[in-house]
Amino acid sequence: MGAYLILGAGHFGRLALLRLAAAAEAASFTILDHRPEALATAEALGIPRLRPVQAEAIPWLAANLPGETAWDWIIPMVPEHVAVGWLRRNRCCPGDWEPVYVPDEVAGLAPVAHRGREGELYLSRAAHLCPDDCLEPEDVCPVTGESRRPALFEALAAQVLPGVTVTVIPSRQLAPGVGGFAPKELLEAAGRLAEGRDLALVATACRCHGVAHMLKRRSTGP
């Protein structure tokens, strides 16, 4: 059972759709993409209770959350940090937030860290290409046998950065190789930013991989 919102109908969005449908036969799905051909390919899979929506992911999510949420889980399969995109556009999170450089010490949480164009960090505990159906075991990497404790989302949440509100959205495994989070995680993150400092580290991560942005509040509005 469950209702899933899949953001992105490309290869990995369709893979998520197939695996979630196999794991939860009575589930319902909304799959969203701005490309009609991608949605048509997803519909052709023949998954029951599938609702396709043609729209850009972040603006659509900002317009539909908060609200009477129809989904239990959000599955981000677009090349954007969905949590940060939503937070910057949503009225739940007052202020004009702009991305700034994530401190270098955050990069030390994982052996692989790449800097993005907005100063964000893409973190990975794997120097190898992970299998797309990884079961994400709690203790060790199934490929290398290396420890995976603490989870990357736990390590990020434990960061102490002076003058910075740290908020981490854990990605939970819902099917092999498919992670997501509940809508309430975004709403709770917005509450922490609204009540917090003018600098915030916002991260989304599973046990091994994640992305972290630093946001600075330029104004709080009238």
Q: What is the pLDDT of residue 14?
A: 97
What residue spans define the domains of the chain?
1-80, 81-222
Residue 88, C-beta contacts closer than 8 angstroms, at least 6 positions apart: 97, 215
Average pLDDT over residues 199-214: 96
pLDDT, greater one: 59 or 147: 59
Q: What pLDDT was estimated at residue 139?
A: 82
Taking the domain 1-80, which CATH number applies? 3.40.50.150
Query: The pTM is what?
Result: 0.93
Contacts of 84 (CB under 8 A, 6+ apart): 99, 120, 202, 213, 215
Q: How much of the chain, in percent, has pLDDT values that exceed 90?
A: 75
Amino acid at 8: G
Q: Give the C-alpha separation, 135 to 14, whole Å.
A: 18
